[in-house]
Each structure stands twice: as C-alpha cells, then as structure tokens.
Structure 1
C-alpha cells in the first residue's frame, strides 16, 4: 500500500530488525508513514517513486556505509534538505564517531542504546523546524531572498549556498546558522543567542555543540569560513 500524500514519510534504513522495530515504534503516529529498508540500495531504489521527508539510517549497512548514504542524500538536490538522523550500534561508538556522522551531513547522531524520549523530542524538533522553514519560504514573498557577499551567495527561497559559483551542501541546521549570521552581520552573537535563535530543542544544545557546528560550517565555506570570527569568551561575529 502506498502512503497517503498527506502523511509525513519517514524512511528507516536499518539491517537489524530489533533496532528497526524500536525506531518504528518511537516514531509511529497517525500522521506519519514509516518505510523500513534493510539496505541503502533498496532505499535508493525507492526514491524513484517518492522522496521521504526524513531519513533515519544506521552507520553500519550491508552495502555502503551509512555516512556515505548521508552524503549521497545531501548531494542530491531532491533530498538535500530532508531531515537526517544517523544512529550507531557500534559498541565503542564515541565522540569521534558522532563528529564523523555530523561531518557527513546528518542533522543529528545517536549511539544505541539511547533515551527514547530524547530521540523522539529531537526528531520532533527537527521535523518542526523543517515545516516552519518550508512555510516561511512560502510566505516570504516580500522578504529578501538572496544575500551576495563578494562571491558568497545565500538563497533563502531555495535554501542553497554558493561559494565562487559552486553550490555548497549544508545541513538544515548549518544553513539556518549561516542565515542567522548573515542577518546579524558585524554583530557579536553569543553562543546562547545562537542556541535560542536556531536550535529548536534547546535541551540537546550546548556550547560544545555550537562550536562543533561552527567548525564544520567554516570548513564547508572554504575561504569564506574565516568570515565567522571567534570572539573569545563571548561567541562569534560574521564579517
């Protein structure tokens, strides 16, 4: 049976049946349709028929790495802006694996076992932000849709960023951070202010999380990354 077009489609790519069942149980609701795939290949094949609004993928898959799958999604214009959460069942998963998961383009990373309530809240916040951003794009006819700073271009309507004419793939959170900086150009922004403005679920945000996201964003922006300057003991300023 095909999912209703009105339902929020979540794709779970998870080879372990118990983990897939757990994720499905956490995310299930009347307004959502959840499709489970045992491999990245089967999931990618399904994209011919419908694009999901969200993807939950294990980092360990039988055909390609989950992090590679995330990068494939981010590099595809049709799937670049979907919510993506990476989960890892590796026994020794730690900060390094989490950083790699975020570097690949995931919006969030969880190590199994995780707190069900925290996972559910974090997913809801990401999905909520996604919906608000889509609605905002539809309503913002009178709002400036594009910033051009030298050869750095930020398009609000299409949620795309170009550096020297080349599109840079950003996660939803990274894009929101960059837009916030652009709107507050030359103003010092504290980490707390950034959390309040961009992180929907503040319970899962901390100063280290902010610094890590800024580090990743700087790297993706290349030579323009230096525009995001650290103000010691306070936060950041975008020049």
Structure 2
C-alpha cells in the first residue's frame, strides 16, 4: 500500500517540525508550506499524490480560509484539517461551510492530531474504493460518472460499463468474447462487431487519450493508461 502523503501549511516553523515528526514516526510522508500561497502551489503541483492537508488559519500571503476555498475549487475530495488559535463556534462553522473535514484548536496534542489524520485517511480510502483512477481517467462508480483531467466525459451506459471493465482489467489482453460477455452479459445475442463499434465511440470521446485503448491483433483490446505513448492506436 502506498504511504500516505500529508501537506502541512503553517507559518510557525516549530509547529511544522513537531507535527511533521509525529507524522513521520507514524509512517506518513510529509510536505510543508510556510504560507498560504506556497500551500496552493505545492497542492497544484502534487495534487495527485497528496492524501490530506493540515491547514493553519492564520498565515501570511493567503490565510487558511482563502487557501481552503481555492483548494475546494479544484478538489472536493482531499481531506482538510484546519488549525487555529481561535475556539469560537463561528470559526468552526465557517471552516465546515467552506469544506473543511475537521477542526483542531491550538494548543493541541500532536498524538491526537495524528489520530484524527489516520481516521480521515481511513474514511478517504473507503471512499476511494468506490472510485477507479488510472492515468488521466477517473471514474465514480457510485454516481456513474467518468472524468478526464477532472473534466466530465459524456458516456452512454454501455460506454461507461466498457470503460470500467477496461480499467478493472488494465494491462490484460481481452478478447471480444470476454468483453461481450462481461459488458453485455452472457444472454446477449448481438454481433461481436458491437464491441468494435462501442470501442470506436469510446475512443472518440477519450480524445487524445484514445491511445489508452490498444488494439491487440487477433485477440481484441487492452487498456494501458501508463506509458501509453508506445501504444498502437490502430
């Protein structure tokens, strides 16, 4: 299992080091930012790798509320814990309304913070089990929605099922019979050309990422979302 990676954004160097040390000792990777702008820059660059953010409210450049709003514009799923020296209920409500997942008031116990981090990571992993992600593709199995680079792809139900089947079997050469039986079920009496027609339509909707679907001559198709530049697009 991939080691979780946490972004800590706080302008207090000693606090960043304290929290970092506790997380590292718990087997969690750490990135740090000393102001709000740096936090956003790091998240944009590393967003595919970052599993959770610990975000201080009072920071230079951009405060935590601004950073929270900016991150939620591009990611609704990354868990965010807010840190603040204030304890008013209104501040907690503000954080939750803006999309924070948890709220910790300074001073706090680092071990308790780590426990909250681990709890949110467990919840996040449960949610991610309801999603498929490969290359630039992301599929929400609950909402039946597919994305390329976070942009919605308009798919028919069968195109969606076909894409899910390809990703679930990434790297495996699949015969047209395998695909037909899995996506259309064993009681389907249509022609094998149905598979080719739907693959053609799916490739068209994937645009430049149509190269993810490789034709395996004499067999059928294979999905390969990684190292796809060498894929035969025929």
Q: TM-score, normalised by structure 2?
A: 0.53
1:166-206 C-alpha deviation (Å, 9 max, x unpaired) = xxxxxxxxxxxxxxxxxxxxxxxxxxxxxxxxxxxxxxxxx
CA distance in 2 between partners of 1:144 and 1:64 (Å)? 36
CA distance in 2 between partners of 1:104 and 1:22 (Å)? 27
CA distance in 1 between partners of 2:42 and 2:34 (Å)? 12
Mapping of 1:119-158 within 5 angstroms? 119-138=113-132, 145-146=142-143
Change (3 A) 1:87 1:119: same
Mapping of 1:70-219 within 5 angstroms? 70-76=68-74, 79-90=75-86, 93-138=87-132, 145-146=142-143
**Match of residue 27 from structure 1:** 23
CA distance in 2 between partners of 1:83 and 1:68 (Å)? 16
Change (3 A) 1:114 1:49: same
**Match of residue 45 from structure 1:** 41
**Match of residue 209 from structure 1:** none
**Match of residue 203 from structure 1:** none
Please, which moves more after superposition, 79-88 or 19-28? 19-28
CA distance in 2 between partners of 1:128 and 1:107 (Å)? 13
Question: In 2, are the aligned partners of 1:137 and 1:156 still within 8 Å (CA)?
Answer: no
Answer with 1 or 2: which has the greater Rg.
2
CA distance in 1 between partners of 2:92 and 2:82 (Å)? 9
CA distance in 2 between partners of 1:156 and 1:128 (Å)? 23
- Unpaired runs of 5+ residues, structure 1, are 147-154, 159-239
- Unpaired runs of 5+ residues, structure 2, are 133-139, 148-234
Question: In 1, are the aligned partners of 2:6 and 2:54 still within 8 Å (CA)?
Answer: yes
Question: In 1, are the aligned partners of 2:82 and 2:103 still within 8 Å (CA)?
Answer: yes
CA distance in 1 between partners of 2:78 and 2:97 (Å)? 16
What RMSD, in angstroms, separates the aligned Cα atoms of the two structures?
A: 2.7
SS state of the match for residue 47, structure 1?
A: helix
